[in-house]
């Protein structure tokens, strides 16, 4: 039977100071498990971006991480405003972040494009007024050899 490790995090909206703690925790766990450094990097950055997005755009949410020896699946779910135009949101530099959020150093519009770049599979389900679920998959096989 395949080994599975499940992790769950509650992410508070608007908490910029602690944003990134869950992805930081996952990063440390992956190091302990001995995954390839590049896989750790890709996973941690993709999750960090998704986590931050929930903090700034969606009023918080939950993160569920499923680790197996072959891959890491991260599901970030929120009940925020949803994304109106996903194609636009995926573009580099596109951001709806407010000025005050930008002043804090967020809102460069690179989060979703980076998630796309680092993930082996990225699925986004979103409904305006209902919320967004982002599923990030990273695979060990990409870092072998």
Partner 1 sequence: MSEFYHSVTLNSESCKGCNNCMKRCPTEAIRVRNGKAHIITERCIDCGECIRVCPNHAKQAVSDPLSRISDFPYSVALPAPAFFGQFKNLDSLDQVLTALKQIGFQDVFEVSRSAETVSRYTEQLMKSDRLNRPVISSACPAVTRLIRVRFPNLCRNVLPLLPPVEIAARMARREAVQKSGLNPEQIGIFFISPCPAKATYIHMPLGTEKSEIDGVLSINDVYLEIVGIISRIEHPEPLSQSSRIGVGWAGSGGEASVLPSDNYLAADGIENVIKVLSEIEDDKLDTLDFIELDACCGGCVGGVLTVENPYVAKSRIQKLLKTLPSSRQQHRDEVPSSALWTVPLEYVPVMKLHDDVATAMKMMKQIEDLVQEMPGLDCGSCGAPACRAFSEDVVRGLASRGDCIFKRREQVQRLVEELSSLENYLPPPFRKPEDEDGAEKED
Residues that bind partner 1 (CB under 8 A): 2-5, 7, 20, 23-24, 27, 29, 31-35, 37-38, 40-41, 44-45, 48, 67-69, 114
Residues constituting the chain: 145
Stretch that binds ligand ADP, among 3-11, 18-26, 33-41, 47-55 (CB under 6 A): 47-55
Name which of residues 6 to 45 contact Mg ion (CB under 5 A): none
Nearer to ligand ADP, 57 or 75 (CB): 57
Stretch that binds ligand ADP, among 3-11, 25-33, 38-46, 94-102 (CB under 6 A): 94-102
60 binds ligand ADP (CB under 6 A): no
The CA dihedral of 112, 58, 7, 46, to the nearest 10 degrees, is 10
Nearest distance in Å: CB 45, partner 1: 6
Choose among ligand ADP, Mg ion, partner 1, none what residue 22 binds, the Cβ cut-off being 5 to 8 Å by kind.
Answer: none
Task: Find the helix packing angle between 37-57 and 21-33, rounded to 10°.
Answer: 160
Cα dihedral sign, 36-24-136-68: positive
User: Where does this chain bind ligand ADP (CB under 6 A)?
Assistant: 49, 53-54, 57-58, 78, 80-83, 89, 94-97, 106-113, 132
């Amino acid at each position: 039977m395949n080994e599975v490790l499940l992790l769950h995090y509650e992410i508070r909206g608007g908490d910029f100071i602690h944003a990134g703690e869950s992805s930081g925790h996952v990063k440390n766990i992956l190091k302990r498990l001995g995954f390839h450094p590049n896989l750790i990097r890709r996973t941690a950055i993709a999750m960090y971006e998704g986590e931050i997005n929930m903090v700034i755009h969606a009023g918080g949410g939950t993160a569920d991480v499923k680790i197996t020896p072959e891959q890491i699946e991260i599901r970030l779910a929120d009940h925020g405003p949803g994304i109106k135009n996903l194609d636009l949101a995926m573009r580099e530099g596109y951001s709806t972040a407010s000025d005050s959020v930008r002043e804090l150093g967020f809102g460069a519009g690179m989060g979703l494009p980076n998630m796309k770049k680092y993930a082996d599979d990225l699925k986004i389900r979103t409904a305006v007024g209902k919320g967004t679920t982002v599923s990030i998959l990273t695979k060990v096989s990409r870092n072998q050899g």
